[in-house]
Amino acid sequence: MRTQVAIIGSGPAGLLLGQLLHGAGIDAVILERQSRDYVLSRIRAGVLEDGTVRLLDAVGAGARLHAEGLPHDGFELLFGGRRHRIDLQRLTGRRVTIYGQTEMTRDLMDLRASEGAATVFEAKDVALHDFDGSKPSVTFTKDGVAQRLDCEFIAGCDGYHGISRASVPGSAMQIFERGYPFGWLGILADVPPVSHELIYAGEERGFALCSMRSQSRSRYYVQCAADEDIANWPDERFWDELRLRLDPATAEALVTGPSIEKSIAPLRSFVAEPMRFGRLFLAGDAAHIVPPTGAKGLNLAASDVHYLSQALIDYFGERSSAGIDAYSAKALARVWKAERFSWWLTSLMHHFPQDSAFGRRIQRAELDYLAGSDHAMAALAENYVGLPY
Ligand code: FAD
Ligand code: DHB
């Protein structure tokens, strides 16, 4: 097989890149290790920045998002027993949209299939070759048969555990990372959301988040120990703990029901630099991870592939390598700002086991400052709706 761009991974980064290139007449093949159903069964992010929505519109994948997605003009911070609204619309003139990553992935996959663009699901043993020269290729096994894909560029969109970053010699890359001593226990349930806007709660018992996927499907999270065993969390325990982390009125209004998904996500900040190695580019979680608190992971994958698609369009259109030479620096400038924001909001809202009483008071003072200062709220809001690109 031959293509212009071999895309590894059929998550948001790979699928969106595929459509952006397709729209510009650039041929790409996506190689995905898992089945389509498996990819669509993973419950992940839920908040889309308006830049991400614009990109989905630009590739023609925005129709269902606009029909079923929930535009949110604000969210609430809960601390000290009170909820404080962050009015995104007033502070920034912009909003975010609640639309599950699963739905966005499904829309992009359907669009790709309808256009006849090639995706190989269940591509096993993917291996990257010669990306430091002029003729890279990717080998893989499909249904037991060894295959080879020749290409001009490889886009590593295969997430944190993918093969792309792992194919780069360690000496060519610098890693920056921070772990957090807790995780998020998440539950999905077909019950109406407790509030029409998201609530980020930072009370004494630890962080909790009330989110949603639709008017009838809720997504809730509670901070838990990093090594927590999910078997210790039957639904009743989850709901009881969530109630204890909310203000009395919200706890009272909470509608509970059986979970349809329950999982624990570790929290981590991670950046690999640079994001280009010869003819290999990294994008999305393959290059960086943020803790989920600011809802930035999926949105960063979108901004990365925006920059990458522009660079590749310039290359194939004008045979100019200026764009691909600038890709890594351009993407990393935005990535680091989202890393900072996600680290800051995580530090502000979570209970750190080793925290002193002093540390708790500092968190509280910062929250008080936020709730009372339009300038502080505007900085939060500007980052939450997404920095421009
Ligand atoms: P991914 O979505 O990880 O896609 C990578 C794809 O590559 C996958 O389909 C994978 O199967 C495939 N792949 C991997 N290895 C190979 C290989 N060797 N060969 C071929 N294909 C391969 N973000 C938020 O903003 N809010 C959240 O609540 C949130 N929750 C999350 C929960 C979990 C458990 C995880 C893991 C992430 C969560 N994120 C969240 C982050 C967000 O989902 C990611 O930032 C986003 O999925 C990144 O998209 P991506 O396309 O870069 O990577
Ligand atoms: C969701 C996840 C987040 O990390 C966040 O900040 C907001 C919402 C969610 O899964 O709905």
When pLDDT is averaged across residues 329-344 and rounded to a whole number, the result is 98
Measure Cα distances from 160 to 57, 164, 180, 224, 294 in Å: 27, 9, 17, 22, 18
The finding on whether 101 has its CB within 6 A of some atom of ligand 1 is: yes
Are 114 and 128 in contact by the 8 Å Cβ rule? The answer is no
pTM exceeding 0.95: yes
Whether the upstream peptide bond of residue 274 has omega within 30° of 0, thus cis, is: yes
| CA separation for the pair 75, 97 (Å, rounded) | 12
What is the CB < 6 Å shell around ligand 2?
45-47, 198, 209, 211, 219, 292-295
Q: What pLDDT score does 356 carry?
A: 86
Residue nearest to ligand 2 atom 9, measured at CA: 46
| CA separation for the pair 214, 192 (Å, rounded) | 8
Sign of the torsion formed by the C-alpha atoms of 54, 56, 60 and 64: negative
Instruction: Tell how far the Cα of 179 is from the centroid of ligand 2, in angstroms.
Output: 19
Q: Please report the atom of ligand 1 found closest to the CA of residue 299.
A: 25
- What share of the chain in percent tops pLDDT 70? 100
Concatenate the DSSP letters of all residues of 207-237 into one string.
EEEEEEEETTEEEEEEEEETT--GGG--HHH
Residue in this structure with the two tokens 């949110």, named with its chain if needed: 72
Instruction: Tell how far the Cα of 301 is from the centroid of ligand 1, in angstroms.
Output: 9
Residue 300 pLDDT level (bands cut at 50, 70, 90): very high
Residue 320 pLDDT level (bands cut at 50, 70, 90): very high
**CA 381 to chain CA centroid, nearest Å:** 18
Residue 139 pLDDT level (bands cut at 50, 70, 90): very high
Are 228 and 183 in contact by the 8 Å Cβ rule? The answer is yes
**CA 324 to chain CA centroid, nearest Å:** 23
Q: Is residue 355 pLDDT above 90, yes or no?
A: no
| CA separation for the pair 43, 63 (Å, rounded) | 21
Measure Cα distances from 103 to 108, 109, 138, 311 in Å: 9, 10, 29, 28
Instruction: Tell how far the Cα of 137 is from the centroid of ligand 2, in angstroms.
Output: 37
Ligand number with the minimum distance to the CA of 286: 1
Q: What pLDDT score does 70 carry?
A: 98
When pLDDT is averaged across residues 79-105 and rounded to a whole number, the result is 97
Residue 353 pLDDT level (bands cut at 50, 70, 90): confident
Residue 314 pLDDT level (bands cut at 50, 70, 90): very high
| CA separation for the pair 19, 351 (Å, rounded) | 41
Closest to 76 in 3D by CA, of 370, 290, 382 = 370
Ligand number with the minimum distance to the CA of 37: 1
Instruction: Tell how far the Cα of 12 is from the centroid of ligand 1, in angstroms.
Output: 8
Q: What pLDDT score does 182 carry?
A: 97
Q: Please report the atom of ligand 1 found closest to the CA of residue 219.
A: 28
Q: Is residue 66 pLDDT above 90, yes or no?
A: yes
Mutation choice for ligand 1 from 38, 40, 44, CB with most ligand atoms inside 8 A: 44
Ligand number with the minimum distance to the CA of 346: 2
Instruction: Tell how far the Cα of 189 is from the centroid of ligand 2, in angstroms.
Output: 15
Are 15 and 38 in contact by the 8 Å Cβ rule? The answer is no
Q: What pLDDT score does 62 carry?
A: 98
Which positions are catalytic? 72, 200, 292, 296, 384
When pLDDT is averaged across residues 199-223 and rounded to a whole number, the result is 97
Measure Cα distances from 351 to 108, 220, 236, 359 in Å: 38, 17, 22, 10
Q: Is residue 288 pLDDT above 90, yes or no?
A: yes
Q: Is residue 354 pLDDT above 90, yes or no?
A: no
For the chain, the first-to-last Cα distance in angstroms comes to 34
